[in-house]
Amino acid sequence: MPLRVEVKQSRRVSEMTIAHYDRMAEAYWEGTRDHDVNQNYTALLDAIENDPPYSILDLGCGPGRDLRHFRSLGHDAVGLDGSKEFMAMARSYSGCEVLHQDFLAMALPESRFDGVFANASLFHVPSRELPRVLLDYLPCFRSSCATRGRRGGSCKARKTTGRLQ
């Protein structure tokens, strides 16, 4: 399949996913508001090697549950979501900055974040796009795992997930 067709298909899938979340935002919030993801919070915070408070990007922040949690711990949490409904809900609920961006076309500030939290969100990225998307957000790290990784150093986040290499 030609690359242009694949890119168009990926964008179409992304648009359909975002439209679904815009339509179902309230129902999604009601269904996930009380989910216990403490082990995921702990895994991220334990993997960050800088001193707190941390600057955390919540990739696919949804209605803002996780943003609010990180903010309550004193961290600078910034959300990112493609859904306009989620973006508004997350800003209102968490009081945090929320970026309205599609995972397939992110424009992130360089060296801004200590960690990225992506709880149940990256599965929305088409598998053929995932390596590019992951590489696109690596420069946003402050003391970048990407930099240490390119020089052969260690990165706790890479060891924890076993996926980013």
Element (H, E) at 42: helix 38-47
pLDDT reported for residue 80? 97
Asked whether the CA dihedral 16, 163, 58, 130 is positive or negative, the reply is negative
What are the pLDDT digits (tens) for 97-116? 999 999 998 999 999 999 99
Per-residue pLDDT of the chain (165 residues; tens, 9 = 90+): 555 667 788 888 889 988 999 899 899 889 998 999 999 999 999 999 889 999 999 999 999 999 999 999 999 999 999 999 999 999 999 999 999 999 998 999 999 999 999 999 999 998 889 999 999 878 999 864 544 443 333 333 333 333 333
pTM: predicted TM-score of the whole model, two decimal places = 0.81
- Comparing CA positions, the residue from 146, 164, 104, 105 lying closest to residue 129 is 104
Q: Which CATH superfamily is domain 3-161 in?
A: Vaccinia Virus protein VP39 (3.40.50.150)
